[in-house]
Amino acid sequence: MTDTEQANGSEIGGHWSEEIYKILKEQKISIVTYVPDAGHLKLIELCQADSEITSVALTSEEEGVAVAAGAYLGGKRAILLMQSSGVGNCINMLSLIKSCMFPFLTLITMRGEWGEFNPWQLPMGQSTPAVLAAAGVIVQRISAKEEIGETVEAAAKMAFNSYSPVAVLLSQNLLGSKSFGRK
């Protein structure tokens, strides 16, 4: 994680992941799936340290959709943490959600937005909201730390009470831009 990312994540009142973690606990989410991502690192670490949460590292984001289906069938709640570049890996599996009518919640750290240095991140980052909407996923966006609690809680309630797919996009403004040594 770069200095910019660390600064944006923890400036006032602790890291924003702590607020999301609290909501996951309140919403009784007991399975957290993820493909390792620097943007979600703190949240992943909080979940891994919690004995009441099963943390599952995935080899591909689409596996998280299948785990969410299995969790629902087993009476549990799951969430998928991924980066916007992984949305393209989930397209076929997103049809499973509508067909089988199970709740689905995903938190997506955005790339290809504000301050992006990597041209390969731009196409998927720019198209992520439209791709999700076209697949029938309800899209919410967080651009400021003050929006986190209310938005994540509302998204979780919507997903688990209406058996709908809901994605919360964590904007690159919130996360900070990556530099990998570029100035």
- Domain contains 180: no
- Output the pLDDT for position 162: 96
- Output the pLDDT for position 180: 54
- Output the pLDDT for position 6: 42
- Output the pLDDT for position 167: 98
- Output the pLDDT for position 98: 86
- Output the pLDDT for position 3: 39
Low-confidence ranges of the chain (pLDDT < 50): 1-12, 182-183
What is the domain range of residue 28? 3-175
- Domain contains 75: yes
- Domain contains 183: no
Cα–Cα distance between 5 and 39 in angstroms, integer?
A: 8
- Output the pLDDT for position 93: 94
Rg of the chain taking only CA atoms, in angstroms: 15
- Domain contains 163: yes
- Output the pLDDT for position 12: 39
Sheet holding 165-170, edge to edge: 54-57, 31-34, 78-83, 104-109, 165-170, 138-142
- Domain contains 124: yes
- Domain contains 104: yes
CATH number at residue 109: 3.40.50.970
Q: How many domains does the chain have?
A: 1
